[in-house]
Amino acid sequence: PRAHPTLRVRPLTCTEARRGDQQVVHSLGDGAVHVSAARHDATFGFSAVFDAGASQEAVFEGSGMRQLVELAIDGFSCTVFAFGQTGSGKTYTLMGPLAQSETQPASPALLGLMQRSFTCLLEQSRSRGSDLALSASYLEIYNEQVRDLLSPGPPCALPLRWSKTRGFYVEKQLSVEFESLEAIVSLLLQVSPPAGSQRRRTSAHALNRHSSRSHALLTIHVRSRACCGPWGRGGGGQSITPNVALQASACPSKQGTLCFVDLAGSERVKETGSSGELSVEANSINRSLLALGHCISLLAKPRGKRTHIPYRDSKLTRLLARSLGGSGITLMVACISPSSRCLSETLSTLHYASRARRVTTRP
């Protein structure tokens, strides 16, 4: 299967509308989107395009997210990543506006891909008689350091290692089991703005006050305990002794993952007026996005013509190696603003996304 690049064009914000910004992006239907401005006139193709009027539910149902959740239950490594410039709607698409507003809980209609996927997983779990064990881990990559967002106390960098059996993995990464939507959502709120104990890196700069300066990776581990034999239901595994081997061989458990990646903004340094510490941040963000783009364009070559894929070029590409490379299934959601002021970033996001269209994997 291919990576499925999906495009979401957010509505003009109040500020953009008040200022009288021109809309330069138009959806033509059938996955085509047209950009027209003074010296630009281009059409791009996607698996699906969601324009300003598309609801959160429409994005969940129309992007293939539900199928991705089902594949994770079946034991595949599934990844959805949202990318685009700061303020283009990445966090909105993944989590909804809930992360932006101080106190009011978001209306259920506005919940993002994450909450909808959790609901879907928990429904499946319930209908299978709790035979799915769900746990979550939450990492950020900030200035090329991997940090565990779930560990209490000040953030500390964790080593990223490689082994033959596991591929790249983060040592001492915490994971938390959950059995309800409230539990996993409160976990998200703990580490995402605006909760008091927010840990994810955000800095104010010219484009967006809450712009994220880190890549955030939430991974849901889906372990299927389902078993046809008499030991299947409810048994956690620990209490069963001599039959463990038999049980395992009779009905192997499946372990899938569903990873949500909220990439840091893709804008170039000069456009955000960044300097000092901010430009160090911007440079490492750009470096890892560049590395990701590089891996993606190499993966897009026909199998026979592929050279070595430089996953080791950044922490981000190491962590995403499995889902990008061979055995994973990836859903990419490119996010753009329709405003003429964002034109150059919009074009670069569109080019980046259309390259990914040619990546194929063998899950």
Contact call for residue 11 and ligand ADP (CB under 6 A): yes
Does 20 carry a binding-site annotation?
no
Which DSSP symbol is given to 234?
S
Q: Which range of residues in 5-13, 73-81, 225-233, 307-315 is near ligand ADP by CB under 6 A?
A: 5-13
Q: Which is nearer to ligand ADP, 84 or 328 (CB)?
A: 84
The site that binds ligand ADP (CB under 6 A) totals a number of residues, namely 17
CA distance 169 to 77: 14
Contact call for residue 115 and ligand ADP (CB under 6 A): no
Write down the least CB distance from residue 86 to Mg ion, Å: 7
Q: Which does 7 bind (CB under 5 to 8 A by kind): Mg ion, ligand ADP, none?
A: none
Among 79, 192, 208, 361, binds ligand ADP (CB under 6 A): 208
Q: Which does 224 bind (CB under 5 to 8 A by kind): ligand ADP, Mg ion, none?
A: none
Write down the least CB distance from residue 6 to ligand ADP, Å: 13
- The answer to whether 84 and 334 are in contact (CB under 8 A) is yes
Q: Which does 87 bind (CB under 5 to 8 A by kind): ligand ADP, Mg ion, none?
A: ligand ADP
Q: Which is nearer to ligand ADP, 17 or 42 (CB)?
A: 17
Which is it for the CA torsion 119, 124, 130, 135, positive or negative? negative
Write down the least CB distance from residue 311 to ligand ADP, Å: 25
Does 270 carry a binding-site annotation?
no
Does 325 carry a binding-site annotation?
no
Q: Which is nearer to ligand ADP, 222 or 334 (CB)?
A: 334
Does 86 carry a binding-site annotation?
yes
- Cβ contacts of 258 within 8 Å, gap of 6 or more: 68, 69, 72, 78, 79, 80, 117, 121, 219, 220, 222
Write down the least CB distance from residue 41 to ligand ADP, Å: 25
Contact call for residue 88 and ligand ADP (CB under 6 A): yes
Does 64 carry a binding-site annotation?
no
Q: Which is nearer to ligand ADP, 4 or 8 (CB)?
A: 8
Checking phi first, is residue 144 left (phi over 0); if not, alpha (psi -120 to 50) or beta? left
Q: 296 exposed, middle or buried (CB, 10 Å; 0-12, 13-18, 19+)?
A: buried
Q: Which is nearer to Mg ion, 72 or 99 (CB)?
A: 99
Q: Which does 89 bind (CB under 5 to 8 A by kind): ligand ADP, Mg ion, none?
A: ligand ADP
Write down the least CB distance from residue 337 to ligand ADP, Å: 8
Residues in region 264-283 near ligand ADP by CB under 6 A: 265
Among 35, 49, 78, 89, binds ligand ADP (CB under 6 A): 89
Residues that bind Mg ion (CB under 5 A): 90-91, 212
- Cβ contacts of 284 within 8 Å, gap of 6 or more: 143, 144
Contact call for residue 288 and ligand ADP (CB under 6 A): no
Around Cβ 46, how many Cβ atoms within 10 Å? 23
Contact call for residue 81 and ligand ADP (CB under 6 A): no
- Cβ contacts of 41 within 8 Å, gap of 6 or more: 34, 35
Q: In this structure, are strands 40-45 and 32-37 parallel, antiparallel, or unpaired?
A: antiparallel
- Cβ contacts of 329 within 8 Å, gap of 6 or more: 1, 68, 71, 76, 77, 78, 79, 323, 361, 363
Residues in region 13-52 near ligand ADP by CB under 6 A: 13
DSSP string spanning 116-160? HHHHHHHHHHHHTTS-EEEEEEEEEEETTEEEETTSSSS--B--E
- Cβ contacts of 123 within 8 Å, gap of 6 or more: none
Q: Which of 188, 181, 100, 75 lies closest to 140, judged by CA?
A: 188
Residues in region 292-351 near ligand ADP by CB under 6 A: 335
- The answer to whether 56 and 112 are in contact (CB under 8 A) is yes
Q: Which residues bind ligand ADP (CB under 6 A)?
A: 10-11, 13, 84, 86-92, 97, 100, 208, 211, 265, 335
Annotated binding site for ATP: 84-91
Annotated binding site: 84-91
